[in-house]
Structure 1
Amino acid sequence: MSRSAKGFGRLINPGVVLNPELNQKIAAFEAMTMERSDLDDELSRLRKQQDVTEDNVAEALAEDEFQCTLRGQSFVGPSEEELQLILRNQLGGIINKLAARYERLIYLDADIRKLKAAIEKAIIVANEESAAAASM
């Protein structure tokens, strides 16, 4: 039994048999939970990639300044517009991916909450129906 099914299992009274629709909802919940975990892993990877890229850009700019100083030249760094263009070129793709993953995460979390509430409600109904049938 999976971890989330065990979580719902504590809500199910002994002897209660869940209908196929409820079992499908639990399976969908488990799939969504796995997708959320995968998204968390991917977000972590993308944030690390962003950090490395930012460090590389900063290091390249510092190296340019250092080389100019060694040659006795004055260093004129990139203008604000040039710097924004450099950052957009280097980080744009990563930031777009992060934004898309965060958007998916927001919707997925909402769907998980709704599905969890529906499953819990269906389990309560199944428990009540089972108790009613047992008392007859």
Structure 2
Amino acid sequence: MSRTAKGFARLINPGVVLNPELIQKIAAFEAMVVDRSDLDTELSRLRKHQEDTEDNLAEALAEDEFQCSLRGQPFTAPTEEEFQAILKNHLGGIINKLANKYERIVNLDADIRKLKGTIEKAITAANEESAAAASM
């Protein structure tokens, strides 16, 4: 039994049998939690890629300045527009992927909270039905 299922199991009174629809919702919830974890892993990977790309760009700019110094040439840094174009070229795709992942996380978190509430209400109802049937 997964950690999530154990979390819901603590809410279920002994002897209560869950209906197949509720079991299916719990399975969907667990799949969403796994998906959320995968998104966190992907975000970490993308952030690392972004940091590496930023470091590489900074090193390349510093190397250009150093090489100009060695040759006795004046260093002309990229203009603001050129710098923006360089960043967009190298980081634009990464940033778009990060934005998409964050958007997916926000939506998934909302879905997870909603489904968790639905499951908890259904478990409460099942507990009450079982208690009512047992008292008859």
> Normalization by structure 2: what TM-score?
1.00
Mark the runs of 5 or more structure 1 residues left unpaired by the alignment: none
Partner of 1:81: 81
In structure 2, distance between residues paired with 1:98 and 1:68: 35
How does 1:20-99 map onto structure 2 within 5 Å?
Answer: 20-99=20-99
Equivalent position SS for 1:12: coil
Query: What's the Cα RMSD here?
Result: 0.3
User: Deviations for 1:67-120, whole angstroms, at most 9, x for unmatched residues?
Assistant: 000000010010000000000000011000000000000000000000000000
Partner of 2:115: 115
Q: Moved runs in structure 1, 4+ residues, more than 4 A?
A: none
- The aligned length equals 136
> Normalization by structure 1: what TM-score?
1.00
Equivalent position amino acid for 2:119 in 1: I
Equivalent position SS for 1:13: coil
How does 1:13-24 map onto structure 2 within 5 Å?
Answer: 13-24=13-24
Equivalent position SS for 2:77: coil
Identity of aligned residues (%): 79
In structure 2, distance between residues paired with 1:52 and 1:4: 35
